Structure 1
Amino acid sequence: MKSILTFLILLSVMGGVGADYMEQKCIYNRVGSYITSVYSGDLDGDGLNEIFAGTSDGVVMNLPYGNCKIRWGPEWQYIQTGSDKGEILEMRVSDLENDGKNELIVAANSREDNKEEIILGNRGKGVIALDGHNDIKWRVDLDNPVYFVKAMDIDNDGNLDIVALTNKDLISATIYVLDNEEK
């Protein structure tokens, strides 16, 4: 039995010597604020997923995947302004209005709204939906800071609902389901 076990261990070690390793495709080095959240989804509807990165100082970046071996950087950035810039905690891509256009849903510690078609959760204890003209479509005030948002059809009515998780001092949490019309 010892010889069989020794043979199996030796065989597994020898097999690992010639193993293939993952090749690095794209490298993005960031100096200053650190990346706190990464998500991939098809925001522009071209059938290819984009890579989104959120930072500790409230920046959301779109990093296109392609020829990135020479220099890889953001295609666009959404930068929060004001003194209450917050850490990006969570991101999702979804067609909230069933209009064929995906929106980027972002949960952050705090926020200033200036960007079209972004849904933001914030330490201001609410969820805000922005339309394509930088106007607030609706706002819902919740009991505590929002740490997670996601769009899904909870009640199977064909319309996406927004699920938001609030958390108070990491002690108590509340899950909200909003029907995408402020209810």
Structure 2
Amino acid sequence: MFQTIARTCAALPRAGHFVGGWLLLGLAFVIGYDVVGRKFFNTGSTLLQELQWHLHGAAMLLGFGATYLKDAHVRVDLLRESFPQRTKIWLETAGIVLFLIPYLGFLLHFSIDYALRAWATGEGSVGGSGLPNRWIIKSFLAIGFALVILSALSILARCIDALRSGGKTPDTPFYPDP
């Protein structure tokens, strides 16, 4: 049952990672177009520069959830590495329940309000010649936080499954691809 929950919760972060990868490809084309235009045709565009940071921000926020699923995030593991596997699983479980999900829930709540205020006020580029509809990029904050919450729920389900099975699992039971 917990493996099914883990796979279900991991599906959207993995999809976000896939979409984020394609956004990075689009970002490379936008950067190339902008650089060639500025270098050879003496054109510069606030719109293209803003599009670059919008694509970069969206791609990163879409990838954070999958990064946590793959245990590719930054850790400070001075003591953790010397602990037995079961203790590591308990630490991961406690960290998710006590810190990660409450903190991300707080961020999600405020990022939704942040995007809604931008939408309600019609917020656009400060420069005037950039991108309109600033709420779109601000919405990616909420999407990114929600994807990390789903990833945390997936890993939590794997941790619970590993603890229920007596810890007879590989070195990193909560991170392998389902």
Which protein is richer in helix relative to its size? 2
TM-score, scaled to structure 1: 0.24
Structure (1 or 2) with the greater strand fraction:
1
Q: Normalising by structure 2, what TM-score?
A: 0.24
Tell me which of the two structures has the higher relative contact order, counting C-alpha pairs closer than 8 angstroms and 6 or more residues apart.
2
